[in-house]
Amino acid sequence: NAGVTQTPKFRVLKTGQSMTLLCAQDMNHEYMYWYRQDPGMGLRLIHYSVGEGTTAKGEVPDGYNVSRLKKQNFLLGLESAAPSQTSVYFCASTFRQGPDSNQPQHFGDGTRLSIL
């Protein structure tokens, strides 16, 4: 049971380069999330998706784009990387069953991204 898998685990980019982070879950979850974690800032939501083909902005969406073409995958893109985007990125997913059900989020192990 893989759960939530993030690729790559580490990456170093130069300013202005682009890249895509992949998140895959095998739990048939509807909701998926991308967070960034910075020292002293906790986790901040970048974008999220409530189902295949839908995305929404979170707290810190600028400079990022996302796509959810397949239910099991959620991609995070950086079109033109900036040093301020150096961070640890976490993907999470959860299975919602109705308005009064709040399931915990399952997290991947993170992607460490450095932008020089």
Among 33, 68, 75, 81, binds another protein (CB under 8 A): 33
95 binds another protein (CB under 8 A): no
Q: Closest separation between CB of residue 5 and another protein, Å?
A: 11
58 binds another protein (CB under 8 A): yes
Among 90, 93, 113, 115, binds another protein (CB under 8 A): 90
1 binds another protein (CB under 8 A): no
- Tell which residue, 55, 60, 31, has the closest CA to residue 44: 60
Query: What are the Cα distances from residue 42, in Å, to 2, 45, 46, 87, 100?
Result: 25, 10, 13, 11, 26
- For residue 39, count CB atoms less than 10 angstroms from its CB and return exposed for 0-12, middle for 13-18, buried for 19 or more: exposed
Which residues are at the interface with another protein (CB under 8 A)? 4, 33, 35, 40-45, 48, 58, 90, 92, 96, 99-100, 102, 104-105, 107-110
